[in-house]
Chains A and B, each alone.
Chain A
Amino acid sequence: MTDPQSSPASAGTAPFTKSEMMIVAAARELAGQRVCFVGVGLPNIAVNLAKRTVAPEMELVYEAGVFGARPARLPLSIGDPTIVTGATAVVSMWELFAYYLQGGLIDVGFLGAAQIDRFGNINTTVIGDYAHPKARLPGSGGACEIAINARQIFVIMRQATRSFVDRIDFRTSPGNLGGAENAERIRREQGWLGRGPSVVVTDLGIWHFDESGEMRLDFLHPGATLDEVRATIGWEPKVSPTLTPTPAPTADELRLIREELDPEGMYTT
Chain B
Amino acid sequence: MVSSKVATMRDAVAELVRDGDTVAIEGFTHLISFAAGHEIIRQRRRDLVLARLTPDLIYDQMVAAGVARKLIFSWLGNPGVGGLNAIRRVTEGPAPRLELEEYSHFGMVARYAAGAAKLPFMPLRSYFETDLPVANPLIRRIESPYGDGAVYAVPPLRPDVTVVHAQRADANGNVQVWGLLGCQKEAAFAADRVIVVVEELVDEAVIRADPNRTIIPGIVVDAVVVEPWGAHPSYVQGYYDRDNHFYRDWDPISRDPAATEAWLREWVHGLDGRAAYVEKLGAERVAALRPSGTAPSGVVDYGEYR
Partner-B contacts on A (CB < 8 A): 40-41, 44, 63-66, 76-81, 84-86, 90-94, 97-98, 101-102, 125, 130-145, 148-149, 170-174, 177, 186, 189-192, 266
Determine if B125 and A148 form an interchain contact, defined as CB atoms under 8 angstroms apart. yes
Q: Which residue of B lies closest to A92 (CB)?
A: B181
Nearest Cβ on chain B to A221's Cβ, whole angstroms: 24
Which residues of chain A are within 8 angstroms of B29 by Cβ–Cβ distance?
Answer: 64, 77-80
Q: Which of B12-20, B104-112, B155-163, B222-230 contacts A (4 or more CB under 8 A)?
A: B104-112
A-B pairs, top 7 by smallest CB distance, nearest first, are A79-B29, A141-B75, A138-B77, A77-B79, A140-B104, A97-B106, A76-B80
Determine if B128 and A65 form an interchain contact, defined as CB atoms under 8 angstroms apart. no
Determine if A136 and B76 form an interchain contact, defined as CB atoms under 8 angstroms apart. yes
Determine if A102 and B106 form an interchain contact, defined as CB atoms under 8 angstroms apart. yes
- Report the separation of the CA atoms of residues A241 and B129 in the bound assembly, to the nearest whole angstrom: 33
Determine if B104 and A65 form an interchain contact, defined as CB atoms under 8 angstroms apart. no
Determine if A63 and B80 form an interchain contact, defined as CB atoms under 8 angstroms apart. no
Nearest Cβ on chain B to A82's Cβ, whole angstroms: 9
Asked whether B206 is an interface residue with its Cβ less than 8 Å from the other chain, the reply is: no
Determine if B129 and A138 form an interchain contact, defined as CB atoms under 8 angstroms apart. no
- Report the separation of the CA atoms of residues A125 and B79 in the bound assembly, to the nearest whole angstrom: 15
Q: Which of B92-100, B249-257, B266-274, B276-284 contacts A (4 or more CB under 8 A)?
A: B92-100
Nearest Cβ on chain B to A117's Cβ, whole angstroms: 13
Which residues of chain A are within 8 angstroms of B295 by Cβ–Cβ distance?
Answer: 85-86
Q: List 20 extra interface pairs beyond A81-B241, A90-B181, A132-B93, CB under 8 A.
A: A64-B28, A64-B182, A66-B180, A81-B242, A84-B237, A92-B183, A92-B186, A93-B28, A93-B181, A93-B183, A94-B186, A97-B109, A130-B131, A134-B92, A139-B104, A140-B103, A171-B129, A171-B130, A186-B128, A186-B129
For the residues of B in contact with A, the DSSP-based class is: loop
Asked whether B147 is an interface residue with its Cβ less than 8 Å from the other chain, the reply is: no
Per-position 1/0 for B59-95, Cβ under 8 A of A: 0000000000000011111011101000110011111
A-B contact pairs, 5 of them (CB 8 A): A64-B28, A81-B291, A177-B129, A189-B149, A190-B150
Given contacts A174-B128, A192-B128, contact A138 B105 (CB under 8 A): no
Determine if A80 and B242 form an interchain contact, defined as CB atoms under 8 angstroms apart. yes
Determine if B135 and A130 form an interchain contact, defined as CB atoms under 8 angstroms apart. yes
Asked whether B286 is an interface residue with its Cβ less than 8 Å from the other chain, the reply is: no
Determine if A64 and B91 form an interchain contact, defined as CB atoms under 8 angstroms apart. no
Determine if A142 and B106 form an interchain contact, defined as CB atoms under 8 angstroms apart. yes
Determine if B135 and A65 form an interchain contact, defined as CB atoms under 8 angstroms apart. no
Determine if B105 and A79 form an interchain contact, defined as CB atoms under 8 angstroms apart. no
- Report the separation of the CA atoms of residues A125 and B102 in the bound assembly, to the nearest whole angstrom: 10
Determine if B76 and A139 form an interchain contact, defined as CB atoms under 8 angstroms apart. yes
Asked whether B235 is an interface residue with its Cβ less than 8 Å from the other chain, the reply is: yes
Query: Which of B73, B128, B235 has the largest count of A CB atoms less than 10 A from its CB?
Result: B128
- Report the separation of the CA atoms of residues A86 and B295 in the bound assembly, to the nearest whole angstrom: 9
Determine if A102 and B125 form an interchain contact, defined as CB atoms under 8 angstroms apart. yes
Q: Which residue of B lies closest to A86 (CB)?
A: B295
Asked whether B119 is an interface residue with its Cβ less than 8 Å from the other chain, the reply is: no
Which residues of chain A are within 8 angstroms of B135 by Cβ–Cβ distance?
Answer: 125, 130, 170
- Report the separation of the CA atoms of residues A144 and B104 in the bound assembly, to the nearest whole angstrom: 7
Q: Which residue of A lies closest to B182 (CB)?
A: A93
Asked whether B43 is an interface residue with its Cβ less than 8 Å from the other chain, the reply is: no
Which residues of chain B are within 8 angstroms of A90 by Cβ–Cβ distance?
Answer: 178-181
Nearest Cβ on chain B to A44's Cβ, whole angstroms: 8
Which residues of chain B are within 8 angstroms of A40 by Cβ–Cβ distance?
Answer: 77, 79-80
Determine if A139 and B235 form an interchain contact, defined as CB atoms under 8 angstroms apart. no
